[in-house]
Amino acid sequence: MATESTIRMVNQIFIEKFELEPSALIPEKQLFKDLELDSLDIVDLVSGLQHNLGISLRENKELLQIRTLQDVYELVEKILTEHPELKDKIPQK
């Protein structure tokens, strides 16, 4: 289960990079079908995640599996679990 701070951080990337309305950011939304992202948008998403987390995700094969916004939340939570030192990079409020 994604924490509120992770959801807020990921949603902020979607709002800033893709100019999506916060009301459109529902965990079940599919990135390509519902949010109308394309492969170049995914590159921007990864860039935003890398910038916020301060690590490279280039070798992360799990990125190929993300289909929904919930998948993105869960991937970020998994990264934070594997790298607890990164939790300080996620704003708590």
Residues 31-52 have pLDDT tens digits of: 999 999 999 999 999 999 999 9
Domain 4-89, architecture per CATH: Orthogonal Bundle (1.10)
Shortest CA distance to 44 belongs to which of 13, 65, 74? Answer: 13
Give the pLDDT band of residue 29 (cuts 50, 70, 90).
Answer: very high
CB 14 within 8 A of CB 27: no
Q: CA–CA separation, 86 vs 50, rounded Å?
A: 11
pLDDT above 90 (res 89): no
Burial 41-66 (b: 16+ CB within 10 A, else e): beebbbebbeebbeeebeebeebeeb
Full-model pTM: 0.90
pLDDT of residue 93: 63
